[in-house]
Homo-oligomer: A and B are copies of this chain.
Amino acid sequence: MAQPGTARGAGSRPGRARPRSVSVKDVAATAGVSIGTVSNVLNRPDRVAAGTRAKVEAAMTELGFVRNESARQLRAGRSSAVAYVMLDATNPFFTDVARGIELTAEKADLSVFICNSGNRPEREHAYLDRLEQQRVQGILITPIDPADPMLAEVAARGIPVVLVDRTSDVARHCSVAVDDVSGGELAARHLLELGHERIAFVGGPASLGQVRERLDGARRAVASAGLPQDRLTVLVSAELTVAEGRHAAQLLAGLPASQRPTGAVCANDMVALGLLQQCVTLGLRVPDDLAIVGYDDIDFAAAATVPLTSVRQPRLQLGETAADLLIDEASNPDHQHRQVVFTPELVVRGSTRRPA
């Protein structure tokens, strides 16, 4: 079998030096055609005579030719990839968003680089740097801070940046998000419509925009049901974890039954699951003593001891739409930035029911 670059001879080190990889030049030499023809076989096979094409293809297989993407990109001026910088790879929500992005990108014949900032700003910055150096077609990102000036700088240098699950007040990027106010409203209204008249909201910290908005939604639902706001008990948690949900259950169980809320809206499913589990442990029946609504509809929500009613966000669609916006921005000269907001949907399961 022919070796690439035989002119080089045995190379410098006698050991296991990595052999230069096979290039179009090697293929052309083996097939007895010019470099241009090899390139045509790769990019416009219809312009090459059948016999020639066969010869070239045979040479490629024989030599084990693999296109050099760097050289292609250099010539093309940009890569055929986009990137998604995600906030937290261990959160199923974001992996589903990523899947949506991949689906759309695949259709447009783009690769997707998934990068995980893991909530660390320095890693986010390092990835943005690298991606810009790679000349990616565009960057999808769920940023740690949507107002980070670096995002604006990258965009200013001509690389499309789309915010995912976040909004930007300035219309400098496209963005795709889900309406958290209406999600919170949806959850609370469901309980109110079932006849619950005392409701708890469990979640925090208040510094999270998403938590604040979901709570606002719940308040709005209480108001439009014509009930006074003191019917909504707010239990602020330190974070959105199972442990904090359990803690909330302790607090609720400690209340006299006459004052205890009969329904709870949780800021996410982890909290809801903790609440649910601890209620079971403490002997509070779900949904009879306490109806529970979660948020996110993670897979575990449906699989809990009592299947959890939850607010579902269109995760896949979030990713798909974000990728669509990015592709438009990258390829359409008349692109206009858009802020897309999805409406969440309620999935009713066994954890909610008319109060006993």
Whether B20 contacts A133 by the Cβ 8 Å rule is no
Does chain B have a CB within 8 A of A113?
A: yes
- Best-surrounded residue of A15, A132, A274, A305 (most CB of chain B within 10 A): A305
Whether A66 contacts B133 by the Cβ 8 Å rule is yes
When C-beta atoms are compared, the residue in chain B nearest to A66 turns out to be B132
A interface bracket (residues with beta carbon within 8 Å of B): 35 or more
Does chain B have a CB within 8 A of A90?
A: yes
Does chain B have a CB within 8 A of A114?
A: yes
Contact of A281 among B17, B242, B305 (CB under 8 A): B305
Whether B333 contacts A16 by the Cβ 8 Å rule is yes
Stretch of A91-99, A173-181, A224-232 lying at the B interface: A91-99
Does chain B have a CB within 8 A of A46?
A: no
CB distance from A326 to the nearest CB of B (A): 14
Interface CB pairs A-B, < 8 A, 15 = A16-B333, A19-B158, A68-B135, A69-B130, A69-B133, A69-B134, A70-B74, A70-B135, A74-B74, A89-B95, A90-B299, A102-B116, A111-B130, A114-B114, A243-B303
Residues of A bordering B, CB below 8 Å = 13, 15-21, 64, 66-71, 73-74, 77, 79, 89-90, 92, 95-96, 98-99, 102, 111, 113-116, 118, 130, 132-135, 153, 156-158, 242-243, 273-274, 277, 280-281, 299-300, 303-305, 333-334
